[in-house]
Amino acid sequence: MNIKSVHCLTFSPTGTTRKITDTISAVFQTKIHNHDVTYDRTKDFPDFASEDLLIVGIPVYGGRIPAILEDLFHRLHGNQTLCIPVVLYGNRAFEDALLELSDLLKAQGFITAGAGAFIGEHSYGSEIAGGRPNVFDLAEAKKFAEAVRDKITGIDSHEAIKPLHIPGNHPYKERSAPGIPWGPVTMDSCNNCGICATVCPMGIIDREDPKNITDPGSCLHCCACIKTCPQNAKAMESEFYKKFRGFLIANCSETQKEPEIFI
Ligand SMILES: Cc1cc2nc3c(=O)[nH]c(=O)nc-3n(C[C@H](O)[C@H](O)[C@H](O)COP(=O)(O)O)c2cc1C
Ligand code: SF4
Ligand code: SF4
């Protein structure tokens, strides 16, 4: 089968998912139509055709796809369009996220040609999978994309694509109930450069006064503001964050997980 257009949809507040989807897209050696939804989740998408391929990359949040993306997936329309769902997780576990993403795409008219779970530095700190995806991860992503590309070019029709066994549970893991809203705090070392406001995917850092988090209840805890602050002036002080970060450092920082692919 020939693919006419390759589209890539990515949500990636701290950029690790983006590294993997860029690596996968590059293998298809054609103009890529990028749909980056990190900062704008209201945009329209084309109706995807049966000769298109859609690569979708998202981070794992609590073993699921990020809740704020659910509506967006319902606005995607495939027409027996091949897709490659990809999740990025922070070396703890991807649980039901890849299955959920693949299910959502299937319900919207897409056929999964290959799927993968890759590892990226955890949002909660560089102690957990720091620097990943690394050279090895990117090489695995490239090999994965080449294998899916060869699978697609080696078949005559969509009917030849067999359903993949993607790990995960039905029903999916329950999302944790929203507790007391919490967001980042800002230290006195902040010099009002405004960088954190430009990288916040929720637009809740006041551009005029970056110490002001306008809606802590919408904070994703993605830590993009913390990781990009040149003054190290943003931090999380919530007890939940501190405890969970401690858990991750104690339990998920020594053993490095490896990418898992399904073709
Ligand atoms: C709210 C939240 C929940 C997360 N849940 C998980 C998880 O369940 N398992 C895991 O291994 N990593 C988890 N992570 C880590 C992210 O999946 C990981 O850091 C990912 O690489 C971030 O992607 P990005 O760089 O594209 O933003 C979570 C991160 C956040 C912010
Ligand atoms: S990036 Fe850091 S220094 Fe710049 S405005 Fe934000 S908190 Fe302040
Ligand atoms: S304020 Fe919250 S949503 Fe915005 S970048 Fe910081 S952690 Fe992410």
What pLDDT is recorded for position 29? 82
Give the number of the ligand closest to the Cα of residue 87. Answer: 1
Residue 227 main-chain phi, psi, to 5 deg: -70, -25
Could you give the maximum distance between any two Cα atoms of the chain, in Å?
62
What are the pLDDT digits (tens) for 23-68?
Answer: 999 999 888 999 999 999 998 999 999 999 999 999 999 999 999 9
- Has residue 244 been placed in a domain? no
Residues 131 and 206 in one domain: no
pLDDT band at 194, cuts 50/70/90?
very high
Q: Does ligand 1 have an atom closer than 6 angstroms to the CB of 102?
A: no
For residues 103 and 72, is the Cβ–Cβ distance under 8 A? no
For residues 5 and 22, is the Cβ–Cβ distance under 8 A? no
- Alpha carbon 51 to its chain centroid, in Å, reads 25
Residues 148-169: what's their mean pLDDT? Answer: 95
Structural domain of 220: 182-236
Residues 119 and 194 in one domain: no
Residues 17-22: what's their mean pLDDT? Answer: 98
Domains in the chain: how many in total? 2
Residues 124 and 43 in one domain: yes
- Has residue 119 been placed in a domain? yes
- Has residue 246 been placed in a domain? no
Q: Which atom of ligand 3 is nearest to the CA of 199?
A: 5
What pLDDT is recorded for position 178? 82
Residues 42 and 135 in one domain: yes
For a mutational test of ligand 1's pocket, the pick from 16, 65, 122, i.e. the residue with the most ligand atoms closer than 8 A to its C-beta, is 122
Where residue 199 sits, what CATH number does that domain have? 3.30.70.20
Q: Which residues pair with 202 in a beta bridge?
A: none
Residues 161 and 188 in one domain: no
What pLDDT is recorded for position 31? 87
pTM over 0.95: yes
* Interatomic CA distance for residues 66 and 47, integer angstroms: 23
Residue 177 in this model has a pLDDT that exceeds 90 = no
Q: Which residues pair with 32 in a beta bridge?
A: 6
- Has residue 247 been placed in a domain? no
Q: Does ligand 3 have an atom closer than 6 angstroms to the CB of 86?
A: no
Sign of the torsion formed by the C-alpha atoms of 38, 39, 42 and 46: negative
- Has residue 243 been placed in a domain? no
What pLDDT is recorded for position 225? 98
Q: Does ligand 3 have an atom closer than 6 angstroms to the CB of 111?
A: no
Q: How many residues does the chain have?
A: 263
What pLDDT is recorded for position 179? 84
Residues 9 and 30 in one domain: yes
Q: Does ligand 3 have an atom closer than 6 angstroms to the CB of 204?
A: yes
Residues 90 and 123 in one domain: yes
For residues 89 and 97, is the Cβ–Cβ distance under 8 A? yes
* Interatomic CA distance for residues 249 and 234, integer angstroms: 20
What pLDDT is recorded for position 150? 97
What are the pLDDT digits (tens) for 71-124?
Answer: 999 999 999 999 999 999 999 999 999 999 999 999 999 999 999 999 999 999
* Interatomic CA distance for residues 161 and 29, integer angstroms: 22
Residues 152 and 61 in one domain: yes
Residues 17 and 118 in one domain: yes
Expressed in angstroms and rounded, the spacing between residue 229 Cα and the centre of ligand 3 is 12
